[in-house]
Protein backbone atom coordinates (compact mmCIF):
# COMPACT_ATOMS: atom_id res chain seq x y z
CA UNK A 1 0.00 0.00 0.00
CA UNK A 2 1.39 3.37 -0.95
CA UNK A 3 1.84 6.18 1.53
CA UNK A 4 -0.98 8.16 -0.07
CA UNK A 5 -3.45 5.29 0.32
CA UNK A 6 -2.36 4.71 3.92
CA UNK A 7 -2.95 8.37 4.77
CA UNK A 8 -6.36 8.35 3.06
CA UNK A 9 -7.35 5.27 5.08
CA UNK A 10 -6.11 6.77 8.35
CA UNK A 11 -7.92 10.07 7.82
CA UNK A 12 -11.14 8.21 7.06
CA UNK A 13 -10.73 5.96 10.10
CA UNK A 14 -10.16 8.82 12.54
CA UNK A 15 -12.95 10.89 11.00
CA UNK A 16 -15.42 8.04 11.51
CA UNK A 17 -14.07 7.36 15.00
CA UNK A 18 -14.63 10.99 15.97
CA UNK A 19 -18.24 10.85 14.77
CA UNK A 20 -18.91 7.59 16.60
CA UNK A 21 -17.40 8.83 19.86
CA UNK A 22 -19.42 12.06 19.72
CA UNK A 23 -22.56 9.95 19.22
CA UNK A 24 -21.56 7.71 22.15
CA UNK A 25 -20.93 10.72 24.43
CA UNK A 26 -17.19 10.04 24.74
CA UNK A 27 -15.72 13.53 24.27
CA UNK A 28 -12.14 12.69 25.32
CA UNK A 29 -11.78 9.95 22.72
CA UNK A 30 -13.53 12.12 20.12
CA UNK A 31 -11.06 14.92 20.80
CA UNK A 32 -8.11 12.56 20.42
CA UNK A 33 -9.53 11.17 17.16
CA UNK A 34 -10.01 14.71 15.83
CA UNK A 35 -6.37 15.57 16.59
CA UNK A 36 -5.18 12.41 14.88
CA UNK A 37 -7.40 13.15 11.87
CA UNK A 38 -5.94 16.66 11.60
CA UNK A 39 -2.39 15.30 11.89
CA UNK A 40 -2.80 12.77 9.09
CA UNK A 41 -4.84 15.17 6.96
CA UNK A 42 -1.97 17.71 7.10
CA UNK A 43 0.44 15.00 5.94
CA UNK A 44 -1.93 14.04 3.12
CA UNK A 45 -2.29 17.64 1.96
CA UNK A 46 1.50 18.07 1.99
CA UNK A 47 1.86 14.90 -0.07
CA UNK A 48 -0.67 16.11 -2.66
CA UNK A 49 1.18 19.40 -3.24
pLDDT digits (tens, 9 = 90+) for 31-41: 999 999 999 99
pTM of the model as a whole:
0.90
Positions in the chain short of pLDDT 50: none
Q: Write the CA distances from 7 to 13, 23, 27, 45, integer angstroms.
A: 10, 24, 24, 10
Q: What is the reported pLDDT for 49? A: 84
Q: CA triplet 26, 7, 34: central angle to 5 degrees? A: 20
Amino acid sequence: MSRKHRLINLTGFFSQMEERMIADCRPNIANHAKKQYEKYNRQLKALRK
